[in-house]
Structure 1
């Protein structure tokens, strides 16, 4: 993949539609297509012991010697904890997202389509968080959170981020989760419960990502060099912390593995790194197109294996 960093953006990055026009279409789409996992999924149905929690190829250990050493039962248990870790750490960021969106719309134009869409998005995120929490409980009976440092950093980011920083970080988090879920939702080897959770989230997050892109484009209009550089760096660091928090060290322990070894293997797993990079091409292209893929930012994305 070849991307030129330090782009300042071109006319193609300018908004061709207003936020209210996009919001109107997204509200209509949500009215037609929104789904409710609480009623759609039979949460009491026994889990098939032969089904994975995610596609084996999306496991953080797939393609390594450690993966080869595992029995089929251990692989299945590992992927179920990986799904639980990714989805419940997703709850952590969705809570940050909801506060940033509410703050952005505080004392806004309540009659506007943009404000109304924001309420739809917040409602979606609440349902998604409940869906993820229920899925983790049913599958492995536990949940995962980021480290104390990342939790503190999230609180600071939640309080201070706005404009392109807030919406780009939202986009990075949602795109990365979307990539993982798209890779698993059509795989017959994966539990039906997980596939439905992924399908619902991918469908509804596509609307959120469209709105976030529009907000980023709008925020970046007329932005000067210094702000662009600073925003790009903050977004990249936030993205690094989000991505590196998705797989909790505790998931490996709970799956019956040596956590320290597993984390070291994951860190050096070229297959997993390649899957992440190839799947985030469009995200990096978008950030580049709006001038948010600067050289310092690119270094953080490479550390997170997104570039």
Structure 2
């Protein structure tokens, strides 16, 4: 049994013991309290003059809309990665642990997407989704991405969310339903990240410099699209804020960029280790704020 199958077998065993069911673990009919949607320090406006001008009620409402927007971006990307994994496993022997784990991961992602959708419906009464350009680029990416490009992009999205959600699930200021959703997602995504790292290493074995350079740039651009889609102008408008001012101050928010950099530190180390942190990719990551 090669390395990927060994990892897949361990993850299958872990999933059998530790998988969670949001439909039975969360009371979706329970009334919401007055908690934040995410840790206030993770708000895109925290640390700005605009945040200081907001009332406590406005801050809570803003974080609920931000949480719903991030969750909606998560649904969008999880739908992309399910297609990537299905295509990658199309011709793999169904008896292989790798194949069986891939379908287990897809099942997890389906449950996560439903969970996020239900949470969004409880938090806000509007629909969020990435902009049209991001959706079309995502459509192109899931059509052509393969091998290490697909798995490294999956890892990028999951690693970025992981640190954020670990903070939110432990923060008692955050609404309990949101904390439970984040906890379920963190526990199950930890298995997905192990597999994505293993697959990325395996697919890159023997890859040349040109292939690594092209893939590194594509992955960094995918990361930029994901990050830029998490919280958009509509969030501020729907909370009743001055959207122009909010976008301007959020884009210049060094506190938020510092949090992004800290959340992506381990990811950047891994990408550097496997040769996917090229000069061109570094420029994109710095522009995005994660380096």
2:246 is aligned with 1:262: yes
RMSD: 0.8
Q: How does 1:104-119 map to 2 (within 5 A)?
A: 104-119=88-103
CA distance in 2 between partners of 1:195 and 1:143 (Å) = 21
2:22 is aligned with 1:21: no
- Tell me which residue corresponds to 1:8: none
- Tell me which residue corresponds to 1:34: 19
- Tell me which residue corresponds to 1:209: 193
TM-score by length of 1: 0.93
Match of 1:285 among 269, 276, 284: 269
- Tell me which residue corresponds to 2:74: 90
Query: Contact 1:145–1:248 at 8 Å: present in 2 too?
Result: no
Match of 1:186 among 155, 170, 195: 170
- Tell me which residue corresponds to 2:260: 276
- Tell me which residue corresponds to 1:3: none
- Tell me which residue corresponds to 1:138: 122
Measured after TM superposition, the shift of residue 183 of structure 1 is: 1.5
Measured after TM superposition, the shift of residue 39 of structure 1 is: 1.1
- The farther-off stretch of 64-73 and 256-265 is 256-265
| Partner-residue secondary structure (3-state), 2:33 | coil
Contiguous gaps of at least 5 residues in structure 2: none
- Tell me which residue corresponds to 1:48: 33
2:60 is aligned with 1:76: yes
TM-score by length of 2: 0.98
Off by >6 Å, runs of 4+ in structure 1: none
Match of 1:235 among 200, 210, 219: 219
Higher share in helix: 2
Aligned length: 290
Query: Contact 1:184–1:195 at 8 Å: present in 2 too?
Result: yes
Contiguous gaps of at least 5 residues in structure 1: 1-16
Query: Contact 1:163–1:216 at 8 Å: present in 2 too?
Result: yes
